[in-house]
Amino acid sequence: MSILKVCHLGHPVLRMQSKRVPREALASPAIQNLIDDMMETMVEYYGVGLAAPQVHHSLSIAVIECHGPRGEIPMTVLVNPEMTILDESLLEDWEGCLSIPDFRGRVPRYARLRVDALDRHGHKVEFTAEDFFARVIQHEFDHLMGKVYLDRMRDLGTLAHMAEFERYWLPREKKAGSSE
């Protein structure tokens, strides 16, 4: 496996709608290696999700995994995902992106959705995602559609460099969530 180079905002592949992956192509060593490399790259850079366009491949593949205070999400591979919104409520929270390093911003996302996709072996997967898991799926789905989280922000006034986010915004968020 290899750590892949992550492209940054401005690279044209981030603004392209990705190509669907034919089910029969999933068994190819090239696609299986790409998925393995995407998982390793996501973990290496402390991401919770990574879409193929972020590593210079305009293919409809995303990987997601999270273990920590935001929740437990097992390693999930989504090929050709489709989303159905189950709750029109929008929840606004902070997001970052490996393709827009060192920045955070508040992004509204749907609270609950159904996902239909293929797994890495071409088997159909269907599940419901809520809260943080739903947020991550929407973030990665946006990458597959040629969008980034900045496109979804209601107010660019919350866009913050990571150092300033940690200094000014994070303490406010921790205090708001405390029982003091």
Give the active site residues.
140
Token pair, residue 21, equals 């992956």
Instruction: Specify the DSSP class assigned to residue 59.
Output: B
d(CA 24, CA 47): 29
Are the beta carbons of 39 and 3 closer than 8 angstroms?
Answer: no
Between the alpha carbon of residue 95 and those of residues 36, 37, 104, 150, 154, the distances in Å are 24, 23, 5, 9, 13
- From CA 148, how far away is CA 153, in angstroms rounded? 10
Phi then psi for 48, rounded to 5 degrees? -110, -5
